[in-house]
Structure 1
Amino acid sequence: MNYEIDLDPTDADINEIRQGLVEHNRPFLGAVRHDKVAFYVTEQGKKKAGITAEIIGDWLSIQFLWVDSSIRGTGIGSELLSRVESHAQEVGCHSVLLDTFSFQAKAFYEKHGYQCHMTLENYPSNHSKHYFTKRLV
């Protein structure tokens, strides 16, 4: 057996490791629902905002919420969040999980009823990363 360090792994290298873990997990999680969902706001065919998430079992896991700086503060982020939460409820999700950096949207999520359960200080450096959940039902 050889141990190798790769300081510039390709997406294919990373996916090979990921697939190995997925196969290992299959007997335990194979029957668990795992769906992707996204909502977009477009203008003249170009995305101006969007939210992406995965539904894993009965949980919605929000990955990315982005609103172009030209339309921030107009309620679009709140509307996207509301729409993805409503969709999650419709398909049987009971809770949401997400994370955000201290320079991103901590106050935004708190305003929408999310509770911070863990904070990593100085991650990656001079910032914090916050982990939130919210009950939907």
Structure 2
Amino acid sequence: MPASDTTVSTPNLVVTDAPIPADIAMISDALDRFNIEKTGVEDRRPLAVLVHDPETHQVIGGLTGRTSLGLFFVDLFYLPSELRGSGLGGEILRQAEDEARARGCRAAVLYTITFQAPGFYRKRGWERLGEVPCDPPGTSRVFMTKELAARTGDRD
């Protein structure tokens, strides 16, 4: 009887700037299954606070992120310039944090860029974890976190 073939083919690697959404979903879902197997916790959920134009009803800004394993991740946060400084951004962030608390999250994480909004987040209780230099020179990615303990007045 011939020996079994133990040769394993090497997977192909493809570098792309245009991944197919189904491929991204496959990776995300596989990682989620791995995390569930390791933790026994199945709680990953998207979280978004969307800003709709009152006339067109189209989304014109907002916050997107996700909650998982007791953490709230802020992925994207954008408001058109004409809505900045109105208090709307703070309200969007407050609503997202409140929803994360309701889902059992104890902390939140995000990154921003030095020319974006680190001051905005600091004013709302976020703390700097660290920075990584990026382009253009003199610019950094700023990694931030916030404890999401129960807000004052939320307790019985």
* TM-score interval, normalised by the smaller of the two chains: 0.7 to 0.9
**Structure 2 gaps, min length 5:** 1-8, 150-156
Residue 2 of structure 1, CA deviation: 3.5
- Pairs aligned (count): 136
Indicate the structure with greater helix content: 1
Question: Structure 2: how far apart are the matches of 1:57 and 1:19?
Answer: 15
Bigger Rg, which one: 2
Identity value in percent: 26
**TM-score normalised to the size of structure 1?**
0.84
Q: Where do residues 1-137 of structure 1 align in structure 2 (5 Å cutoff)? A: 1-2=9-10, 4-8=12-16, 10-11=19-20, 12-42=22-52, 43-44=54-55, 45-121=57-133, 123-126=134-137, 127-137=139-149
Aligned CA RMSD, in angstroms, stands at 2.1
**1:18/1:124 CA distance change after superposition, 3 Å:** farther
Which 4+ stretches in 1 moved above 6 angstroms?
none
**Structure 1 gaps, min length 5:** none
Indicate the structure with greater strand content: 1
Q: Which has the higher contact order (CA 8 A, sep 6+)?
A: 1
Question: Structure 2: how far apart are the matches of 1:13 and 1:48?
Answer: 27
Question: Structure 2: how far apart are the matches of 1:28 and 1:115?
Answer: 30
Secondary structure of 1:108's counterpart equals helix
Provide Cα deviations, 1:21-69, integer angstroms capped at 9, x if missing partner: 4444441145241111111121220223211121112211111111111
